[in-house]
C-alpha cells in the first residue's frame, strides 16, 4: 500500500538516494554527489515542510521537492524535482502526491505553483496540463563543447562585485531569469557564486554570475547602450574561469521570447541542447 506524508524530518541521504534512483533513466544526467544535491536543495529554496513523499513499506518511492519564496511579486511554490522510482510508475503516484499536497499549499496561503518540464517529456507535460498548469514561456538550455575564451582585447574592465547592486543590474534586463537563476537563488548560494561587473569609463555597464560548484551561469546582462561591443563575451570569458576545470559554463533556461539572447550564445559556439516549458498553476482560493 502506498502512503503519503510530508518530508519535514526525512534524512537527506535517503532523499538523495531516492532522487538518484528516480532520475537514473532521465534524458539529462541528474547524477550528483550528496554535497551537490545539498547545494541544489539550498539554491532552489527547498522547504521540506511542504515537500511530499510516497512510501511503500517505509521506502521513499516518489516525491515532490518544493521550494518556496516570492515569484513575480506573489507567494510561490516551485517544483524543484518530481520523481517516481521506475518500478512504481504507472500507479498514479505523482497525481496522488499532488492531490495530497495541494490542500496544504492552499491552506498556507501560497498563490501559485511554478515548474519547468522538458518539452519532449510528453507524459509529464500532459499530466501537468491535466492538473491545471498553463504554459508561461519556453526556455532553452545551451551547451558548448569548449570553454569560452576571449582572444580579443577587452573594451571593458572586469571586476569582482564585493557588494552586488541587484537594483542596478535589473535595469540591464530584457526579461527575467528562471527560478533557479533568480536573484533569490543567487543570494541563497552567495558563498559559492562569483559575481563580476564590466566597467566602461568608470561606469558599470554589465554583470554576470556563475556557480563555482556547478559551473551554471545564473545571469548575464549588458546595458542596452553597450551591447554588441564585446562586453558580454568579456564577461562570459571571465566567468568561465570560475567554472569547473576544463568545462564550458552551462547556460540554462534562456527565455526563447528573447531571440537576441539565444543568438548571442549560438554566435559564440553554444548549441541548443534541450527545451523546457515553464508552467504555472494558480492556487487562488476561488480556483
What's the grid cell of residue 99?
492531490
**Could you give the CA distance from residue 1 to residue 266 in angstroms, rounded to a whole number?**
50
Share of the chain above pLDDT 70, in %: 97
Contact 261, 150 (CB under 8 A): no
Q: Determine the average pLDDT of the residues in 265-274.
A: 94
At residue 204, the pLDDT reads 98
Contact 155, 223 (CB under 8 A): no
Give start-end residues of each CATH 3.40.630.30 domain in the chain: 2-138+277-282, 145-269
**pTM for the structure as a whole:** 0.94
Q: With a cut of 90, say whether residue 141 has pLDDT above it.
A: yes
pLDDT bucket at 245, cuts 50 / 70 / 90: low
Closest by CA position to 84, among listed 55, 104, 105, 118: 55
3-state secondary structure of 263: helix
Q: Determine the average pLDDT of the residues in 228-235.
A: 94
Q: With a cut of 80, say whether residue 246 has pLDDT above it.
A: no
One of 3.40.630.70, 3.40.630.30, 3.40.50.300, 3.40.50.720 is the CATH number of 145-269, namely 3.40.630.30
Q: Determine the average pLDDT of the residues in 269-284.
A: 96
Q: With a cut of 60, say whether residue 287 has pLDDT above it.
A: no
At residue 153, the pLDDT reads 64
At residue 275, the pLDDT reads 97
3-state secondary structure of 38: helix
Share of the chain above pLDDT 90, in %: 87
pLDDT bucket at 247, cuts 50 / 70 / 90: confident
At residue 72, the pLDDT reads 95
CATH superfamily assigned to domain 2-138+277-282: Gcn5-related N-acetyltransferase (GNAT) (3.40.630.30)
At residue 149, the pLDDT reads 79
pLDDT bucket at 286, cuts 50 / 70 / 90: low
- pLDDT tens digits, one per residue of 145-183: 888 876 566 899 999 999 999 999 999 999 999 999 999
**Could you give the CA distance from residue 1 to residue 59 in angstroms, rounded to a whole number?**
11
Average pLDDT over the chain, rounded to an integer: 94
**Could you give the CA distance from residue 76 to residue 105 in angstroms, rounded to a whole number?**
9
CA 185 to chain centroid? 8
For 84-120, b/e burial (b = at least 16 CB within 10 A) is bbeebeeeebbebbbebbbeebeeeebbbbbbbbbee
- pLDDT tens digits, one per residue of 113-140: 999 999 999 989 999 999 999 999 999 9
Closest by CA position to 36, among listed 185, 214, 168, 191: 214
| DSSP β-bridge partners for residue 193 | 211
Amino acid at each position: 500500500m502506498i502512503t503519503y506524508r510530508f518530508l519535514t524530518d526525512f534524512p537527506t541521504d535517503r532523499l538523495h538516494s531516492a532522487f538518484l534512483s528516480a532520475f537514473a533513466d532521465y534524458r539529462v544526467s541528474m547524477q550528483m554527489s550528496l554535497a551537490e544535491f545539498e547545494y541544489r536543495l539550498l539554491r532552489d529554496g527547498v522547504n521540506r515542510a511542504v515537500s511530499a513523499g510516497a512510501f511503500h513499506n517505509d521506502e521513499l518511492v516518489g516525491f515532490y521537492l518544493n521550494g518556496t519564496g516570492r515569484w513575480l511579486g506573489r507567494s510561490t511554490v516551485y517544483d524543484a524535482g518530481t520523481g517516481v522510482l521506475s518500478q512504481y510508475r504507472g500507479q498514479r503516484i505523482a497525481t496522488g502526491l499532488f492531490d495530497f499536497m495541494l490542500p496544504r499549499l492552499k491552506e498556507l496561503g501560497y498563490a501559485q505553483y511554478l515548474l519547468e518540464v522538458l518539452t519532449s517529456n510528453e507524459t509529464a507535460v500532459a499530466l501537468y496540463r491535466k492538473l491545471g498548469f498553463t504554459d508561461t514561456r519556453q526556455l532553452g538550455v545551451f551547451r558548448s563543447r569548449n570553454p569560452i575564451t576571449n582572444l580579443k582585447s577587452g573594451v571593458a574592465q572586469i571586476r569582482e562585485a564585493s557588494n552586488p547592486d541587484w537594483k542596478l543590474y535589473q535595469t540591464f534586463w530584457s526579461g527575467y531569469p528562471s527560478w533557479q537563476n533568480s536573484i533569490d537563488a543567487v543570494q541563497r548560494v552567495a558563498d559559492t557564486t562569483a559575481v563580476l561587473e564590466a566597467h566602461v569609463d568608470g561606469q558599470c555597464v554589465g554583470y554576470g554570475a556563475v556557480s563555482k560548484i556547478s559551473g551554471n551561469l545564473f545571469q548575464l546582462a549588458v546595458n542596452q547602450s553597450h551591447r554588441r561591443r564585446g562586453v558580454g563575451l568579456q564577461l562570459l570569458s571571465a566567468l568561465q574561469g570560475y567554472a569547473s576545470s576544463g568545462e564550458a559554463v552551462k547556460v540554462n533556461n534562456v527565455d526563447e521570447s528573447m531571440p537576441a539572447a539565444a543568438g548571442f550564445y549560438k554566435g559564440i559556439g553554444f548549441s541548443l541542447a534541450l527545451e523546457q516549458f515553464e508552467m504555472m498553476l494558480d492556487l487562488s482560493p476561488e480556483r
